[in-house]
Structure 1
Amino acid sequence: MIDVLYFAWVRERIGLPKEKLETSAATVAALVEELKAREERYEAAFADLSALRVAVDQELTDFDAPLAGAREVAFFPPMTGG
């Protein structure tokens, strides 16, 4: 099982702050493809990956990052300055 967390407009589009998933995805990108295939709201949230950042176990990473052993994946928009 893996915890998937959604922040800001990603949360708004999907309608959930987080969920626990059973996945066979080897990478973050594969997980995104699984999510997009679930239903339209996921498709909308992940339509433009260039507008998203991802963290695996609270470390910023890329969409090609492996998920082996990961406990948590978080999706959020890029942070803006301040």
Structure 2
Amino acid sequence: MFGFLKRQKLDLAQYDRDLVEAIDDAKYDYEKAKLSEEAMFESEVDPRLIQAETAKAKQKYFFLLRAARERKMKGHWQTAFVRPEL
């Protein structure tokens, strides 16, 4: 009768893969924000806005790393900033 309320099982391996991908994306965004911050200080843009965007990217990256640490995941998230611009 209430079959539609049945919870699907969480695929932990897929969750881990998604988390690693999210960490890679967040690392890329954080590194890009840091580089943009350095370049934008020379422009007419409000520096507080630039610093806020960099801080937001940093917090997202470290939040995801904490989630991976809590799951006792291992990985190589300290790799260089190598993703090409699309």
TM-score (norm: length of structure 2): 0.26
Task: Tell me which structure has the larger Cα radius of gyration.
Answer: 2
Which has a greater percent of helix?
2
Which has a greater percent of strand?
1
